[in-house]
Amino acid sequence: MNLIADTSAQLDATHLVSTTEQPHTEQHAHAEPPAFYSVIPFALLLLCIAFLPLIHKTEEWWEHNKNRLLVAVSLGLVTLLYYTFIYGHGVVDHGTHELSAPGIPAAIVVLKNAILVEYIPFIALLFSLYVISGGIAFNGNLVGRPRLNTAILAIGAAISSFIGTTGAAMLLIRPLLKANAKRDYVAHTIIFFIFVVCNTGGCLLPIGDPPLFLGFLRGVPFTWTLNLWPMWLA
């Protein structure tokens, strides 16, 4: 997915990593934005993720990881072919900040950016948060009442920005499920948990949400997202 998403990321990569004192020196690397239709593979991947599990004829087929990998790799190859034969410009290497030659070198840089610069650091962060939080367990006689559920959601939203939405979810989902085990209607509580703790709660720091972390890798200041606190409170 990161390989395909790199296409849309290139849309904003017109001026990368340079000194403000020398705006037009050779230290600058310039990348032409890709065509608008270059995001089609990424859009198709999102549609596959959203709808293939819901269609009866493809539901069982989509459950196998090899089939998901096949779809992702196929659409990723389409993106690489676009950069190889259609794009016609160089691509900025996110590691060296140098502009590649058009054609095959551009496709290689796209692949490098997606795997080495974005995917591996992203997975390393998620894995570490998953392992650390997954080893912590809370024990107690909790009763799933609205006040307790609200408190768990509030705590999860508060800590998501500091230990990540993955870490907060791993830490609090088991106490929440245990506290509400004897309740007849719990689906809405889990839905609120997904929205509050697993998504919106982590918007204050790059380690909170994966998209913010990818933005940090691309040069967004680490503390810039603290400006989102009014939206976070809302």
Phi, psi angle pair for 92, to nearest 5°: -75, 125
Name the residue range of residue 170's domain: 136-234
Q: Domain check: are 174 and 70 in the same one?
A: no
Q: Which pLDDT value is given to residue 83?
A: 96
Q: Which pLDDT value is given to residue 21?
A: 38
Q: Domain check: are 31 and 59 in the same one?
A: yes
The answer on pLDDT for 28 being more than 60 is: no
Q: Domain check: are 47 and 161 in the same one?
A: no
* 207 within a domain of the structure (yes/no): yes
Structure tokens at 4: 């395909």
Q: Domain check: are 102 and 174 in the same one?
A: no
C-alpha 79: how far from its chain's center? 19
**Residues constituting the chain:** 234
The answer on pLDDT for 12 being more than 50 is: no
Q: Domain check: are 107 and 203 in the same one?
A: no
Q: Domain check: are 19 and 73 in the same one?
A: yes
Structure tokens at 142: 């909790």
Going by C-alpha positions, the residue among 102, 51, 45 that lies closest to residue 77 is: 45
The answer on pLDDT for 52 being more than 90 is: yes
* 130 within a domain of the structure (yes/no): no
* 126 within a domain of the structure (yes/no): no
The continuous run of DSSP H or E covering 141 comes out as none
Q: Domain check: are 113 and 142 in the same one?
A: no
The continuous run of DSSP H or E covering 123 comes out as helix 120-134
Higher local confidence (pLDDT), 225 or 150: 150
CB-hemisphere CA count at 13 Å for 149? 19
Among the ranges given (20-34, 39-53, 68-82, 219-233), the one the predictor scored with the smallest mean pLDDT: 20-34
Q: Domain check: are 113 and 156 in the same one?
A: no
Phi, psi angle pair for 99, to nearest 5°: -95, 130
Q: Domain check: are 184 and 161 in the same one?
A: yes
CA–CA dist 11, 14 (Å, integer) = 8
**Which residues, listed in sequence order, are joined to residue 92 by a DSSP beta bridge?**
99
Number of domains in the chain: 2
Structure tokens at 130: 């998953």
Q: Which pLDDT value is given to residue 134?
A: 74
Q: Domain check: are 221 and 177 in the same one?
A: yes
Counting other chains too, the contacts that 96-105 makes at CB distance below 8 Å and 24 or more residues apart are: 97/16, 97/17, 97/18, 97/29, 98/29, 99/29, 99/30, 99/31
Whole-Å CA distances, 105 to 21, 81, 96, 113: 30, 12, 14, 12
Handedness of CA 90, 93, 96, 97 (dihedral sign): positive
CB-hemisphere CA count at 13 Å for 220? 17
Q: Domain check: are 113 and 220 in the same one?
A: no
* 131 within a domain of the structure (yes/no): no
Q: Domain check: are 152 and 62 in the same one?
A: no
Sequence-ordered strand ranges (E) for the chain? none
**Which residues, listed in sequence order, are joined to residue 210 by a DSSP beta bridge?**
none
- pLDDT tier, 18 (very low <50, low <70, confident <90, very high otherwise): very low
Q: Which amino acid is at 91?
A: V
